[in-house]
Amino acid sequence: MRSIPIATACTIYHKFFCETNLDAYDPYLIAMSSIYLAGKVEEQHLRTRDIINVSNRYFNPSGEPLELDSRFWELRDSIVQCELLMLRVLRFQVSFQHPHKYLLHYLVSLQNWLNRHSWQRTPVAVTAWALLRDSYHGALC
């Protein structure tokens, strides 16, 4: 996944739990549904099977991939139903203005302003992108 869909998934996840109680819903199911919904919103479609397999591998590193049995289909249906719930809770407002394009514009302007040696010596761009990515780990987004 690219940066924008990941940022959208993080924002959807945080906004959902700002509207609801954390104890009322499974945060892992909400996370999977956020990724699924963000892929649709940002037009980088992900298959539910891929989301389930990656999540399963993350939570069970030594486990086998899920077979296409009833457990898999129940989890898939839960993700789809949870997506609909999230859309209703967020009142279908799932399109966001992310700061990525603004940061890119400012970094290009700064690069043009500084000389080449100063730009290469100072990790401004790397630090700025790291701070932007880290901001999505909390409720700042």
Structure tokens, 65: 């991939």
CA distance 47 to 79: 11
Return the pLDDT at 11: 92
CA distance 73 to 29: 14
How many other β-carbons are positioned within 10 Å of the β-carbon of residue 23? 6
Contact status, residue 96 vs residue 8, Cβ threshold 8 Å: yes
Contact status, residue 42 vs residue 8, Cβ threshold 8 Å: yes
Backbone angles phi, psi at 52, to 5 degrees: -65, -45
Return the pLDDT at 63: 80
pTM over 0.75? The answer is yes
Return the pLDDT at 82: 97
Q: What is the mean pLDDT of residues 13-27?
A: 93
Return the pLDDT at 140: 56
Helix extents (H) in 96-139: 100-113, 116-121, 124-135
Structure tokens, 37: 């919904």
- If you average pLDDT over every residue of the chain, what do you get? 90
Q: What is the mean pLDDT of residues 52-77?
A: 89
What would the CATH number be for the domain defined by 3-89?
1.10.472.10
Question: Which of the pair, 29 or 2, is modelled with greater confidence?
Answer: 29
Contact status, residue 37 vs residue 86, Cβ threshold 8 Å: yes
Q: Is the pLDDT of residue 141 over 60?
A: no
Q: Is the pLDDT of residue 139 over 80?
A: no
Return the pLDDT at 119: 84
Structure tokens, 47: 């298959």
CA distance 39 to 37: 5
Give residue-wise pLDDT tens across range 80-132: 999 999 999 999 999 888 888 888 899 999 889 988 888 888 898 889 988 88
**pLDDT-based confidence at 3, cuts 50/70/90?**
confident
Per DSSP, the three-state class of 120 is helix
